[in-house]
Amino acid sequence: MTSTNVDDARTPGGEATSVLVGRSADLPAETLVDAVAAQVQSRPDAAAVEGDGPTQTYAELWQHAGRMAEALAEAGVGAGDQVAIWATRTAPVVAAALATMALGAAYVPIDPTYPAARVRRILEVGKPKVMVCADPNALAGSLPRGVATVDTHAGPREGAPLTPAASPEGVAYTVFTTGSTGLPKGVLVGHRALVNYLGWARELTDFEAGDATPCFASLGFDHAVTCLWLPLMVGGSVQLIPDSWDPRPWLARRERPFAFVKITPSHVKLFERIARPDYRAITRTVMFGGERLDAALVASLGERLSGVHLLNHYGPTEATVGCTAFRFDAAVPLWDGPLPIGTPVWNSRAYVVDADLQPVPVGEEGELVLAGACVADGYLGGDAADRDRFLDESTLGGADGTAARAYRTGDLCAVRDGQLNYLGRLDEQVKVRGHRIEIAEVRDLAVSVQGVSDAAATVSQKGLGGLELFVVADAADRDLVGRVLERLRAELPAAAVPERVFVVPNLVVNAHGKWDAAETRAVAERIAAEAAASVEAAGDGDGGRSPEGGVQAS
């Protein structure tokens, strides 16, 4: 495990403060493109990209990227530009992203499942020079004025040799996320931050040349960066999975297991319902990420994790995919609740701070602020509140006199036993009728009720803005909603008891592998309406309660 220490800074009272320092390490390459170029020279015939089509070797990937680079340059793309890519999980898209970075430009992946309005907003904010896609004619009428299109198969059959022009100080990619106003903003991730992260991730996963990993996450989400670029940086291969929700292509027993599988807890829960994967036959390491990881979920996988290395991987997009990790063993008895998120990435620091941005004593709760090599260059778009989340490390006291860019995560954490522990989002502390409520507490109490396999809560968009709770049942159970409400009423103040409780088949997950509250609510309301209609048609007077419906809590 990457060595990390608690900084020896002290509070005025002499207590150790919550500052963790990642190991100082030399970067493995100037840029990702330089690293891939080295693999092309040393392993030209090795498999680089696998998928539905023929396997692409390193030489073939590089040649395709060279043709794409020539076509992009002819379209006016140069260093510092943004290039939008319609990010299907295909080999030509990988080549297009590589070509973009080689020119010194930044690629902007756009998930094809995004609503048209979101795509337009991303293009308006990002102002890309071109849009790269497999079918330019299909998008030509919907692009902002001045945005040209380039086919992913563009360029001469024998393009000019690809000569990397990327600068370590330049931006490698821009991933759009949602700002405080609800509008998308682009996170600018530099080459140094990307190479720093990938070198650390290689050490965590013991990835070697010839290893492979599947990529089934949306390329528009930085979750995919690990699975896509780590193999290509070190001479391995990536297996592109077209459908995020169909695990069959990567569940097949392999002669040589994957080096790692990166997966969100929501993915795990869904795949448990579909196939109950035996991870021992699939991979050497499971990297959990993207959401809070509960010990109960790990324990539920039982012997199917025996001998598999496990990592809890944490990081906001603004901290370059992942900035802390916790390595653990399923054979070791686990504690209740969420697992630690571990210690910082190379060349970076983690501060747990109070409202004045000063480190709190070890063990106390505070906001997590990250600093150093992991932090992104800033935003495209966003408002003043978004931009203010980036600050200078010197305002935090500065570990060992360092002063780099820092980022306020908005996550509530504490340092315990030398590890960061994730305690929830600061914005999950919502107010309902003047009462401060922890969303995570409501969810955890619901999951503790027998018969509930999963749950999520959010602030209602209706009425007086109380809470809504969605629970997934182990089996049909007409009394489940009543038992959940009974438990919540026994433990929580009245304002924290959800106004509506729905039983749903599953928590709907978006293209990024995270819980989608709006879509889950839509499913819940449809099921409740169908149940109510069925009750009315049958003349049943049970008040609308059903195994799949919701009831008013008040």
Question: How does pLDDT run across 474-501, given as a tens digit for each residue?
Answer: 888 888 999 999 988 877 767 678 888 9
Query: In sequence order, what are the residues at sequence separation of 6 or more whose Cβ sits closer than 8 angstroms to the Cβ of residue 90?
Result: 51, 52, 53, 134, 152, 240, 242
Q: pTM of this prediction? A: 0.81
Work out the pLDDT band at 333, boundaries 50, 70, 90: low
Contacts of 15 (CB under 8 A, 6+ apart): 361, 362
CATH number for the segment(s) 4-25+347-425: 2.30.38.10
Q: State yes or no: pLDDT of 198 exceeds 90.
A: yes
pLDDT of residue 428: 64
Domain segments of the chain as ranges: 4-25+347-425, 32-166, 433-552
d(CA 288, CA 278): 16
Phi and psi torsions of 434, nearest 5°: 85, -5
Question: In this predicted structure, which of 2-16, 56-70, 249-263, 314-328 has the lowest mean pLDDT?
Answer: 2-16
Local confidence band at 552 (pLDDT 50, 70, 90 cut-offs): very low
pLDDT-derived band at 49, boundaries 50, 70, 90: very high
Per-residue model confidence as pLDDT tens digits over 351-409: 999 999 999 999 999 999 999 999 999 999 877 878 889 999 999 975 566 679 999 99
Instruction: Report the pLDDT averaged over residues 467-473.
Output: 91
Check residue 540 and give its pLDDT. 53
Which residues fall within 8 angstroms of residue 26, CB to CB, at 6 or more apart? none
For the chain, what is the mean pLDDT? Answer: 85
SS3 content of the chain, % helix, strand, coil (to 5): 30, 30, 40
Give the pairing type, strands 343-344 and 324-328: antiparallel
CATH architecture of 433-552: 2-Layer Sandwich (3.30)
Q: Which CATH entry fits the domain spanning 32-166: 3.40.605.10, 3.40.50.980, 3.20.140.10, 3.40.1010.20?
A: 3.40.50.980
Whether residue 93 has pLDDT greater than 70:
yes
CB-count burial class (<10 Å; 0-12, 13-18, 19+) for 271: middle
Task: List C-alpha distances in Å: 312 to 20, 137, 224, 276, 510.
Answer: 17, 43, 16, 20, 21
